[in-house]
Structure 1
């Protein structure tokens, strides 16, 4: 529930943050001013959540004979790439209809060139290796940037390559997988993305690594006293605020990302420990608390369910509202309309596309993977249910 709420609220913060940037640029986009960009903070939360949840899922399934690197990768394709590609197609089509041939934009430009489209669908835009090779080989077309109004999708692509790198390393460590030349090259190509971003001053991948480390140590960390977690939340928050002050509110720096990630992880263990203790003591059985708890869980699950769709599409929706209504409605109305319209569009996209990712994953495995040899019987229904639960992350 904690993670669902954090993911859902973070997605809403991204929408609000980008709406403030676009509709109130005189406040939120002034060069040199110290501005707290809530969308950048939300991305930190997304990365640490992802690192924790993906690592936890791998640890749960690592001893299953049907859990291979290929099945892991197909799970990630179904969860990340399958919703991404239809969203990209929708963004490109709408951008072409709305922005084609115009210079009236709320941002620098809209790149709908063939190389930008190809870079988006191959998950290769902003890739550090291609950025380095392009001028040396005299092939600038291989260095693609984000396509159209899909600029925020850089984080999705970055996480995709982190998933790939983590998968190779995890299966080498846990399942003694022989890397081979192909997997070694894949690892180098994948790990170049987070390393390249860090070389340019964007350390979001550290949040992913911290989430991973806490997942690996979760059994031991969860046994620590609640007071220890509370103190780490306080100290981590204080260090985060100090980092913000001395780095001019730079939410991409290691000095802000590391303490924020540590504080978030200990907040999870603190809240989870309190909830477990109350449940054991029977304190959550009163009618009011029980109903309010169920309502909060349902609300958190609802917000979280379509948070990925919201992240994929919101910036384009906000940009279109700016294009058609800028100068017609006041900024506060446009911001409210952006939040409403983004959520409606994203929830519709979730129902039509993202919601079916588990079926897509099962189909991909059926078509592309050989069935595992039975070990003590066929794969159980419980194992299949665990696949679906883990795939949500």
Structure 2
């Protein structure tokens, strides 16, 4: 293999432009972007499988079917990996600004809300439009007429203004149901409260913080914990795992940069496979509440340690990695809008729950085509929402007379 195309699993050297305080998906670490996109893909595949394919208990078992059903059943576990990555990016950003003495609640809140709302608001509107179009066009389809038959959709379907507002204020799955058929929106509520609780807790212990900020942090912590409730708080440790890795990013990076490329490559493979194994274990084994999520988060945290500096692929492998990494720039959009689209497609092609497809090669190929369509729609959606985040933040700063600062 020519030197230009040789795959090197070592970390980047001095040319790496790490931005640990950037809470949007950074293009600097391609490996982490790929992990994020893979987690989003697992969620989408899970919903496509649930709505289009018969359950495993009713399926004809053949070589590889157990593997396919297992991989497409890891959506909930993939969300835990999302939480760890979120803790790393967002928690790391908050820590970075506190260390520099530049943290303000106004700037932090603006950065977080623009990131979330810029996708969430149009996603809610799209959910309403697509769901209602499906109900009108395919009123007899089981996904709309007998929703309770399906896993992965809200137990209570609501399009009320109160539910819309509740989703907008991030209390879906806590105090109101997810909007329409868009069940994946539950995790955005969890993310929001973790964004709020983490810096609030730091305010109580951080040196050099004014009394005003400590009081404000304590009030936010108590109020936020009361609103979020124990169900949300029990997954907070998973998010904190990523924040802990971010807190020690520099010493971790120094250690892994001192490893031989072959050793580091092996550790990275072990970390990725170990995280996948933890996800399968948590899904297949009945465990006490949230224990499975904590196991996944610890495995993902260990994996993350080996990727705090990017994979240093160059040449053709590097270009392929960069291309796959770019999908992370619409992964949030894909996550937020795919469910109502999958539902209306299922209503059109598989209207009866009892006549869902067998998971064979032919139908699996169709399913991959559906995922490709979802990706194309999400890419277009993201161009007008997710990828405008920095521009919207800059516009807000200009309108409010604030200088441009690094956002998290």
Aligned length: 344
For residues 239-254 of structure 1, the aligned pairs below 5 Å read 241=277, 248-249=284-285, 253-254=289-290
CA drift of 1:195 comes to: 4.9
Distance 1:240 1:298 in 2: 23
Structure 2 residue 41 is the aligned partner of structure 1 residue 24: no
Aligned position for 1:6: 35
Aligned position for 1:119: 166
TM-score (structure 1 length as normaliser):
0.74
1:52, 1:212 within 8 Å by CA — same for their partners in 2? yes
CA drift of 1:339 comes to: 0.4
Q: Deviations over 1:225-254 (max 9, x none)?
A: 657997798599769858965874459954
CA drift of 1:312 comes to: 0.4
Aligned position for 1:309: 333
Structure 2 residue 319 is the aligned partner of structure 1 residue 294: yes
1:236, 1:259 within 8 Å by CA — same for their partners in 2? no
CA drift of 1:317 comes to: 1.0
Distance 1:188 1:367, change over 3 A: farther
Distance 1:356 1:146, change over 3 A: same
Distance 2:90 2:186 in 1: 19
For residues 151-170 of structure 1, the aligned pairs below 5 Å read 151-170=183-202
Aligned position for 2:225: 191
1:52, 1:215 within 8 Å by CA — same for their partners in 2? yes
CA drift of 1:95 comes to: 1.5
Structure 2 residue 91 is the aligned partner of structure 1 residue 61: no
Q: CA RMSD in A?
A: 3.7
Distance 2:310 2:386 in 1: 33
Structure 2 residue 148 is the aligned partner of structure 1 residue 148: no
Distance 1:244 1:15, change over 3 A: closer
SS of residue matched to 1:222: helix
SS of residue matched to 1:62: helix
Distance 1:189 1:254 in 2: 23
- Long gaps (5+) in structure 2: 1-29, 60-65, 149-155, 358-362
For residues 46-57 of structure 1, the aligned pairs below 5 Å read 46-57=82-93
Structure 2 residue 319 is the aligned partner of structure 1 residue 322: no
TM-score (structure 2 length as normaliser):
0.72
For residues 130-279 of structure 1, the aligned pairs below 5 Å read 143-172=175-204, 173=206, 176-177=209-210, 178-179=212-213, 183-192=217-226, 195-197=229-231, 203-224=234-255, 226=259, 241=277, 248-249=284-285, 253-271=289-307, 275=311
Distance 2:118 2:192 in 1: 12
Q: Deviations over 1:57-104 (max 9, x none)?
A: 223333556541210110001111221111111111222232269463
Distance 1:245 1:5 in 2: 22
* Larger RCO (CA within 8 A; separation ≥ 6): 2
CA drift of 1:2 comes to: 1.5
2:278, 2:295 within 8 Å by CA — same for their partners in 1? no
Aligned position for 1:375: none
Distance 1:166 1:29 in 2: 44
1:241, 1:256 within 8 Å by CA — same for their partners in 2? no
- Long gaps (5+) in structure 1: 128-142, 373-378
CA drift of 1:116 comes to: 1.6
2:271, 2:300 within 8 Å by CA — same for their partners in 1? no
Q: Deviations over 1:130-169 (max 9, x none)?
A: xxxxxxxxxxxxx421110111100011101110111323
Aligned position for 1:99: 135
